[in-house]
Amino acid sequence: MGLLQKALETYEVMEGLVGIYEEGKEEPLAPIGHMVTKAQIEVTINAEGQFIGAKLADKDRKIIIPVTEESSGRTSSPAAHPLCEQLGYLLGDDEVKFDLYINGLTQWCQTDYVHPKARAVLVYVRQRTLRDDLTNAGLSTDKEKDMICWRVVGLGIDDNTAVWEDVALMKAYSSYYLSQKQGKTNLCMLTGEDTHITWQHLKGAFSLNGNAKIISANDSANFTYRGRFAEPEEAASVGYLASQKAHNALKWLISTQGTTQGGRAFVCWNPQGHTVPKPTLPFHFQFEEEEVLPDYNSYREDLRRKLAGYRDEWQPEEQVIIAAFDAATTGRLAITYYNEMLGSDFLERLARWDETCCWKDDYHGVQSPLLYSIIAFAFGTPRGEAGKVEPDEKLVAPQMQRLLSCRIDQAAFPLDIMQALVAKAGNLQIYSKTNRNKLLCITCAAIQKYYIDHQKGEFKLALEPERKDRSYQWGRLLAVMEKIERDTYNADEKREPNAIRMQSVFVKRPGYAFMVIMEQLKNAYYPRLHMGLRTKYERLIGEIMEQLHLSLKEPEDYGTPLTESYLPGYYLQKSALYTKKETEETEEHTDEA
């Protein structure tokens, strides 16, 4: 019940937004007795219930419509919405459905809560001319599930003719429907009050599973509570008002603040309405290129500034709620993850993850990778001519939840994800230049995070020439051998260097692969280098070999398979080589000028 209680609290805090369509938000917060859906046909009538015109509705627009308990959760059994409804209820072909609609709307219009627009719609539908009117307007009436929404003109009460935008109409219906609640009351487990209980809870909190419910109401024969309780209210009883508020708040939160990954919805919010950073995105997320690429120090300072900015807006006791939703079947919506914590703790954990799971990207500076990118490169493969890396969608949701748990609950970085990235980075030649750099940065960030979490040390984000790590030093050698060959290439050369083509062999048998690659370099590529560059590379290789031998614990370790730490050594050495080359070229150009 914690989730629904927090959703209820959020609704009551945000009550000023009920029925309001906010710019840039996918859908509004629905009032009591209403739900959000899409319409296919928009019909305009006048105050006397006469047809004016009809057109196809905006297919991307979501509208608020009045509903009853029965109609909001209907499946195969007919139950009519009171105002906006499907063609099958409005055309009159099915007398049962037509009577349900007319009777429901008539009951509303006979009370003091009636609204002129509702009365005009009732007059029009009773005439049974909708089919002919739509046909004459060039619209099809073949699909009985097409939703009809209304505009009423000529009332002279305001300029808002659309019933789905009329807040006064929404309030009138909510008041009417709540006034009809009579009979037995019971304890509401959300509010602790004695109130009218509902057994029909709203469906469609998560749009990808439109019929799935968090609380089901029809399992009296399917053992949801039988065997444990005699009556359903012994298992759970929720008041109608609390259920409406909580479910409408959840639907609004998921659509406006949630993200969908692999068919699973992840949402994070503050019940008081303050802006919350998305836990699936880096805390320090660069949407635009920065003029000066951040180094590790400036990156950490920026994280702290952002952290302080959020803290200034929040009270110390304010909370953050994080939840994930998935549907194993079309009718049941599962809460696969739930956590509530102090906002200060939540922000600290986001910043801590980004501070420990980051790497230096030569194009963007120091940054933390997207959680989705970690999953994509760990479990995906390059596809198509563009080489886009895409994982199997079935893997995305559970892996995303694992990484979210690492980030929010401070669980250790998973070994299998780190190993999957290292395996993919061990075959760089199948990736494009852009994806190759992304893969290396993400893999190095994951290795860094894994080492810190498992207390195996950490890597500096700058080259460590004297690091006592044989795999790290072998990685440096791989980068130097690749650079030597690339220095002899023409600008349009697309052939991979021998160091990259033999990378998988190099990882398993570094001593053997080193001799083979060096022999090829000396025979075919050294002669193409000018003497100064050749001397520089020979000196660098000698320095690395010296450090390599100093790093050996036993002499026989020299040629054993490499650990994942060869990748940070490779990346940082390669970055240093290209940075130095660019600096030298700039200095030469300045001297000539």
**DSSP calls for 340-398:** EEEHHHHHHHHHHHHHHS-EEETTTEEEPPPHHHHHHHHH-EEETTTTEEE--HHHHHH
Which token pair is 485? 């060959």
The answer to whether 34 touches 164, Cβ cutoff 8 Å, is no
**Across 301-310, 435-444, 503-512, 532-541, least confident range:** 301-310
Return mean pLDDT, the chain. Answer: 89
Contacts of range 334-338, beta carbons closer than 8 Å, 24 or more positions apart: 335/3, 335/214, 336/264, 336/401, 337/266, 337/401, 337/404, 337/405, 338/2, 338/3
272-301 mean pLDDT: 79
CA distance 13 to 334: 26
User: What is the C-alpha to C-alpha distance for residues 204 and 211, in angstroms, rounded to an integer?
Assistant: 5
- Tokens (6 digits) for 258: 């949630």
What is the structure's pLDDT at 547? 96
Contact present, 166 and 174 (Cβ < 8 Å): no
Dig out the tokens for 223 from the structure.
């053992």
**Phi, psi for 264 (deg, rounded to 5):** -115, 135
Specify the pLDDT at position 592. Answer: 42
Q: Give the domain ranges of the chain.
A: 2-235, 275-322+341-461, 464-593
The encoded tokens of residue 200 equal 């029909």
Please tell me the distance from the alpha carbon of residue 469 to that of residue 474, in angstroms, as a whole number. 9
For residue 321 the two structure tokens come to: 């709620």
pLDDT at 329 over 80: no
Q: Computed over its alpha carbons, how large is the radius of gyration of the chain? A: 32
Residue corresponding to tokens 């160091």: 499
pLDDT given for residue 587 in this prediction = 43
User: In 3-state terms, what secondary structure has residue 87?
Assistant: helix
pLDDT at 581 over 60: no
pLDDT at 210: 62
Percentage of the chain modeled with pLDDT above 70: 91
In this prediction, residues 232-261 reach a mean pLDDT of 88
User: What's this model's pTM, rounded to 2 decimal places?
Assistant: 0.88
Predicted confidence at residue 223, as pLDDT, reads 56
Confidence of residue 287 (pLDDT cuts 50, 70, 90): very low
d(CA 267, CA 82): 31
Distance of CA 432 to the CA centre of its chain: 26
Q: What kind and span of H or E run contains 255?
A: helix 240-257
590: pLDDT strictly greater than 80:
no
Nearest to 505 by CA among 495, 494, 493, 513: 513
Least confident of 54-63, 208-217, 344-353: 208-217
pLDDT of residue 473: 97
Task: Place 586 in a pLDDT band, splitting at 50, 70 and 90.
Answer: very low
Cα–Cα distance measured from residue 201 to residue 209, given in angstroms and rounded to the nearest whole number: 15
Q: For residue 203, name the pLDDT band (cuts at 50, 70, 90).
A: confident
- Of the pLDDT bands very low, low, confident and very high (cuts 50, 70, 90), residue 158 is low
Q: Which residue has the higher pLDDT, 472 or 296?
A: 472
